[in-house]
Amino acid sequence: MAKYKVAVIGNGMIANAAHIPAWRDIPDVAEIVAVADDRGDIAQETAGRYGIPKSYKDYNELLAKEKPDIVSVCTPNVYHKAAAIASLKAGAHVLCEKPLSVSESDAIEMYDTAEKTGKLLYTNQTMRFMDPIIAAKDFFDAGYIGKPYYIEASAVRRRGIPKWGFFHMKEHNAWGPGFDIGVHVLDAILWIIGAPKVKSVSGKSYTIFGDKDEGLKESLAESGAPIGVFTPRPYSYKEFNVEDFITGFIRLEGGLTLNLKASWAINAPEGGGATFISGTKGGLNLFPELELISNMAGYQTNTKAKVPMSIDVPFSGHFGATKQLIATIEGREEMLVKKHEVLNVLRILDALYASSETEREVIFE
Ligand SMILES: NC(=O)c1ccc[n+]([C@@H]2O[C@H](COP(=O)([O-])OP(=O)(O)OC[C@H]3O[C@@H](n4cnc5c(N)ncnc54)[C@H](O)[C@@H]3O)[C@@H](O)[C@H]2O)c1
């Protein structure tokens, strides 16, 4: 069988550290034929690093000339929509980095294009492929926590502003940690409990540290680049114009409530407290270790799950996502990251920021 021709648009940290290694992990199935980055030298450098035959500055030229079967979209968030739509229209399936887009309405346009072109739009919510998250879903589906009613979801870095690229600038990413790492924990936890729809959202965002020089020593790993960055863009805190912390109270259908915290910088314990689901029969504590909280034989009991790691590398979720996309294309599996789930999460995120700005709750009918 011919291999899938893969192209990678946006050749920064995540392309080099995760997408390219994940595609190269399935050499019998896929072959990276070209990369593109609007900083042409970065595309060239990336192609050279991995022996990829072609590099482009303009992804439209890549799409026209290479006609890839699959495109990984790895640009900053603001450009996901244009790159994904161009790729779908050029006849490619798309694996688009999270967040799929910077608003629910943009995501709807992207899915509409996918439907019209008959191609797959796959949102790269990589936490869904992490073994402890899959195990948490298995516990939930097996009924160990009963009916869920309260959730705490934390994506909290005490200090961890991504400083290698464009994350801190509204014009390139629209929002800060809410869309960057809040999206991961929200997507994972709502997926585990079966994607209940949002009913209302109240949020508040802050910029306390990002726009100042704190003079702190920080590591790339703490900011989300555990294996480093090949070609960082020079960073200046003077460009920082997104939030560094956002919190929200979210009502979901079925009487569920969820408290969310997402930060790149906050004076709080690392991790910001637990991420857990409370249910009528038990609770599930997700981090730092999966733990079932229940009562057994008259005792309050904490059960730790021994979760085998299917792949133990940084960005392991990307290795699962590429394989699941192929299985979905070939009709062997159903797409794991579904449109209604992605739109529900984006609707919550949109509303968090809208609520913060207006200082009012956003209510959905
Ligand atoms: N799933 C995960 O765990 C995970 C982790 C990190 C980043 N990400 C996502 O990956 C995306 C990229 O993050 P990154 O850390 O690689 O950022 P980065 O800044 O290192 O890389 C982005 C690259 O895109 C290029 N670019 C910008 N505009 C472009 C355009 N219009 N056309 C082509 N190239 C363009 C930039 O020159 C840069 O090289 C973001 O959406 C981010 O949210 C996901």
Q: What is the DSSP string of 166-198?
A: STT-HHHHSSSHIIIIIHHHHHHHHHHTT-PPE
User: pLDDT by residue (tens digit) across 115-133?
Assistant: 999 999 999 999 999 999 9
| pTM of the predicted protein model | 0.97
- Give residue 81's pLDDT: 98
Q: In the structure, what pLDDT confidence band is assigned to residue 271 with cuts at 50, 70 and 90?
A: confident
Measured CA distances, 211 to 169, 240, 291 (Å): 11, 5, 38
- Cβ(76) – ligand 1 distance below 6 Å: yes
Q: In the structure, what pLDDT confidence band is assigned to residue 44 with cuts at 50, 70 and 90?
A: very high
Q: In the structure, what pLDDT confidence band is assigned to residue 272 with cuts at 50, 70 and 90?
A: confident
User: pLDDT by residue (tens digit) across 294-335?
Assistant: 999 999 999 999 999 888 888 999 999 999 999 999 999 999
Task: State yes or no: pLDDT of 269 exceeds 90.
Answer: no
Identical fold for domains 4-124 and 128-313+345-363, yes or no, is no
Residue to mutate, 16, 46, 97, ligand 1, most ligand atoms under 8 Å from C-beta: 97
**Which protein residue's CA is at the shortest distance from atom 15 of ligand 1?**
13
- Give residue 182's pLDDT: 98
Residue 87 and residue 132: Cα distance in Å, rounded?
33
User: Ligand 1: which atom is nearest the Cα of residue 80?
Assistant: 41
- Cβ(248) – ligand 1 distance below 6 Å: no
- Cβ(124) – ligand 1 distance below 6 Å: yes
User: pLDDT by residue (tens digit) across 1-35?
Assistant: 699 999 999 999 999 999 999 999 999 999 999 99
- Give residue 312's pLDDT: 85
User: Ligand 1: which atom is nearest the Cα of residue 124?
Assistant: 1
* Region 91-99 average pLDDT: 98
Residue 23 and residue 350: Cα distance in Å, rounded?
32
Architecture of the domain spanning 128-313+345-363 = 2-Layer Sandwich (3.30)
Q: Is 303 helix (H, G, I), strand (E, B) or coil?
A: strand
The mean pLDDT of the chain is 96
State in Å: Cα 15 to ligand 1 middle.
7
Q: In the structure, what pLDDT confidence band is assigned to residue 144 with cuts at 50, 70 and 90?
A: very high
Q: In the structure, what pLDDT confidence band is assigned to residue 60 with cuts at 50, 70 and 90?
A: very high
The residues, any chain, with a CB within 8 Å of residue 126's CB and separated by 6 or more, are 18, 98, 184, 315, 316, 317, 318, 320, 321
State in Å: Cα 206 to ligand 1 middle.
24
The DSSP result for 196-226, as a single string, is PPEEEEEEEEE-SSTTS-------TGGGT-T
State in Å: Cα 300 to ligand 1 middle.
45
- Cβ(320) – ligand 1 distance below 6 Å: no
User: What fold characterizes domain 4-124?
Assistant: Rossmann fold (3.40.50)
- Cβ(14) – ligand 1 distance below 6 Å: yes
Q: Where are the domains of the chain?
A: 4-124, 128-313+345-363
- Cβ(101) – ligand 1 distance below 6 Å: no
- Give residue 333's pLDDT: 98
Task: State yes or no: pLDDT of 218 exceeds 90.
Answer: no
User: Ligand 1: which atom is nearest the Cα of residue 42?
Assistant: 39
- Give residue 273's pLDDT: 76
- Give residue 243's pLDDT: 98
- Give residue 284's pLDDT: 97
State in Å: Cα 363 to ligand 1 middle.
32
Q: In the structure, what pLDDT confidence band is assigned to residue 95 with cuts at 50, 70 and 90?
A: very high
Pairing relation of β-strands 70-73 and 93-97?
parallel
State in Å: Cα 56 to ligand 1 middle.
16
- Cβ(356) – ligand 1 distance below 6 Å: no
State in Å: Cα 215 to ligand 1 middle.
26
State in Å: Cα 8 to ligand 1 middle.
11
Residue 33 and residue 25: Cα distance in Å, rounded?
15
Strand partners for 362: 201
**Which protein residue's CA is at the shortest distance from atom 37 of ligand 1?**
39
Closest CA to 155 of 187, 197, 202, 196: 187
* Region 38-63 average pLDDT: 98
Residue, of 179 and 227, whose pLDDT is higher: 179
- Give residue 289's pLDDT: 87
**Which protein residue's CA is at the shortest distance from atom 19 of ligand 1?**
165
